Each structure stands twice: as C-alpha cells, then as structure tokens.
C-alpha cells in the first residue's frame, strides 16, 4: 500500500482486538485508533456514525488511507437466545452503520462466523453457501453480513471459527488451565471445526486491510485442518505435557445449551489463498505456538 494507513479497530479489548492492537501499534508510519466498548457503544447509532466520521476526517487530513477492522460483536451465544434484540443491534445493525459511513471513503473488514450456517454439512462450507443460522447469535451475524453487503463500498466480510488466544477467555485457555491442574475433563466429540489462533488471524486481517487490490466481498479465514473439541482438548493436554487420557469424549446431547451449536464448522479457505493472502498455519502448529506464549502476555 503506497500511502500510510489510518487503522480503526473496534472490539479492541476482545481476544482478536487485542492481537490486532498489538500488531498495528508496532507498525511505523501508520496510525492506530483502538476502541473498546468503553469508548464505542455499538448500540448508539449516532455515536457510532459520529466516531467514524471524525476518524475519517482525521485520516483524510493526514493523508492516510482509512481501514476499519470491525472485531466487535455480541458474542454471548447463549445469552443472545433471550436478548436477541440487543444482539441484533450490535451484530446486525451496527456493521451496516459502519459500512455506510465507509462506503466510498475507506475499506471495511468485518468479522463474521461459522454460526451463519446450519452446521449440517460434511464438506467445508464455500463462501457462497446459503445462510441458514440455527441460533439467535447466528441470525444476528447473518443480518450483519447482509447489512454490510447492502451498504456497498469497499467492504469484505471475513468468516472465521473457533478463535482462541492464550491470554483471553477461550476454550483453549480453559483447557490449558485444566491440563496444568491435572484435571479430568469431558469434551464433546461430535462437533468439528478449525481452531483458529487469534494472533494468526489478526496478521491475516491486516494483510487483507492493507492490500492495494480490491478484495472479494466474502472470505473465510481459519487455521488449516479440522478436529473435534475433544481432539483439540487432548492436543492442549499433550502440548502442555499433561496426560491426554484425562480427556474423555462425550456428546453434545449430554451437555444441552440454550443455543444450538453447529456440528460442522469447517469453512472453505480456498478463496482466501486465491486472493494472494497469507496461508494459515495448520491448526496444531498454531496451537503449539500459542501455548508457547505465557498466559497473560
């Protein structure tokens, strides 16, 4: 990218937002604005639009190309079942407001999820697979995708799945704690997906944001390969030198939750590679690297 970039990261305090902020804050010549929920209330349309307009004006005045990475979301999957109205504003309406303000003025990269699909497939979901969410969370994220598309402009929806980091609340961090304690755990073995290290995902999103060429409207980006939650938990135990036999398989039916979980969350990353974007690591290699980072760092 020829001109320096003005980056705006929303959801800056989440596990992906923290990785984006750390990565972009170390880039010389670029300018970073990182906003968490304390500084950007995505339920406040007027506030959202005013914030983006102010940031765009500053970027133009400084001769920087504006790129907004929207990592903010209502991610409490079970809570959304009884609070769908709020989730719809954050996940559905707010991305549309961002896209409308960016249309013709800058680039938007908006994060979405495997939950927009029904989870019944047996092959990786292509980027143009029909949306068929089965949960309130999935419905609101699908609404966000549609809002971004309707706004036009230079916007790309990036679907991902099973995101984790060592320093933020996630399945991997929970399993790491259990492994370090030598605890027995039971983990579902009938849900399959692609674990995705937040640090690697962040690097890929930055590469997408800074490219000179237009990007496709929808892409998938997870780490490579697939495994069940049970297999992932065993891998965490193995990486940390704990006995993987402490991890026992169980079924989704044995652990009912308010929101249905997809049985199949594997996404086709072919278009990501075809766009010339960085190739993701195999999930097990990414996990190894993630667990080598001390917790809390």
Q: What is the pLDDT of residue 276?
A: 97
Q: What is the pLDDT of residue 2?
A: 61
Q: For the chain, give the mean pLDDT.
A: 96
Q: What is the pLDDT of residue 117?
A: 98
Residues 78-116 pLDDT 10s: 999 999 999 999 999 999 999 999 999 999 999 999 999
Tokens describing residue 7: 């980056």
Q: Contact, 8 vs 60, CB < 8 A? A: no
The span from the CA of 68 to the CA of 90, in Å, is 16
What is the percent of the chain where pLDDT is above 70?
98
Residues 140-165 pLDDT 10s: 999 999 999 999 999 999 999 999 99
Strands (E), 251-297: 264-265
Tokens describing residue 106: 């800058």
**More confident position, 29 or 233:** 233
Residue 243 has pLDDT above 90, yes or no: yes
Q: What is the pLDDT of residue 297?
A: 47
Interstrand relation of 218-220 and 185-188 (parallel, antiparallel or unpaired): unpaired
Q: What is the pLDDT of residue 294?
A: 65
Q: What is the pLDDT of residue 3?
A: 79
Residue 232 has pLDDT above 80, yes or no: yes
Domain boundaries, the chain: 5-169+197-222+265-281
Q: What is the pLDDT of residue 1?
A: 45
The span from the CA of 191 to the CA of 175, in Å, is 16
Nearest to 220 by CA among 265, 264, 181: 265
Band (pLDDT 50/70/90 cuts) for residue 26 is: confident
CATH class of 5-169+197-222+265-281: alpha beta
The span from the CA of 212 to the CA of 205, in Å, is 14
CB atoms within 10 A of CB 122: 8
Using CA atoms, how far residue 182 sits from 143, 176, 284, 292, in Å, is: 42, 10, 21, 18
Q: What is the pLDDT of residue 295?
A: 59
Active site residues per annotation: 137
Q: What is the pLDDT of residue 126?
A: 98
Task: State pTM to two decimals.
Answer: 0.96
The span from the CA of 70 to the CA of 17, in Å, is 9
Residues 6+ apart with CB under 8 A from 146: none
Q: What is the pLDDT of residue 168?
A: 83
Residues 161-217 pLDDT 10s: 999 997 789 999 999 999 999 999 999 999 999 999 999 999 999 999 999 999 999
Residues 58-80 pLDDT 10s: 999 999 999 999 999 999 999 99
Mean pLDDT of 224-234: 98
């Amino acid at each position: 990218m020829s001109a320096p970039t003005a980056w705006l990261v929303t959801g800056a305090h989440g596990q992906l937002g923290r990785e984006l902020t750390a990565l972009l804050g170390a880039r010389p010549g670029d300018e970073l604005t990182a906003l968490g929920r304390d500084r950007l209330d995505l339920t406040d349309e007027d506030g959202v639009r005013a914030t983006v307009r102010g940031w765009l004006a500053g970027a133009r005045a400084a001769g920087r190309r504006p790129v907004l990475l929207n990592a903010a979301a209502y991610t409490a999957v079970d809570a959304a079942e009884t609070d769908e109205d709020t989730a719809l504003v954050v996940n559905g309406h707010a991305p549309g407001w961002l896209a409308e303000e960016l249309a013709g003025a800058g680039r938007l990269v908006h994060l979405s999820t495997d939950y927009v699909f029904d989870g019944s497939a047996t092959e990786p979901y292509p980027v143009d697979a029909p949306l068929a969410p089965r949960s309130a969370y999935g419905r609101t994220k699908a609404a966000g995708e549609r809002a971004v598309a309707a706004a036009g402009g230079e916007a790309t929806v990036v679907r991902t799945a099973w995101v984790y980091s060592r320093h933020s609340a996630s399945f991997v961090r929970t399993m790491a704690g259990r492994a370090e304690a030598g605890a027995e755990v039971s983990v579902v073995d009938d849900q399959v997906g692609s674990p995705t290290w937040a640090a690697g995902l962040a690097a890929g999103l930055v590469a997408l944001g800074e490219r000179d060429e237009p990007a496709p409207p929808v892409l998938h980006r997870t780490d490579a390969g697939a495994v069940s939650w049970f297999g992932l938990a065993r891998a965490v135990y193995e990486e940390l030198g704990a006995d993987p036999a402490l991890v026992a398989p169980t079924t989704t039916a044995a652990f009912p939750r308010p929101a249905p979980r997809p049985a199949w969350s594997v996404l086709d990353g072919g278009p990501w590679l075809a766009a010339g974007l960085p190739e993701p690591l195999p999930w097990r290699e990414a996990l190894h690297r993630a667990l080598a980072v001390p917790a809390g760092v």
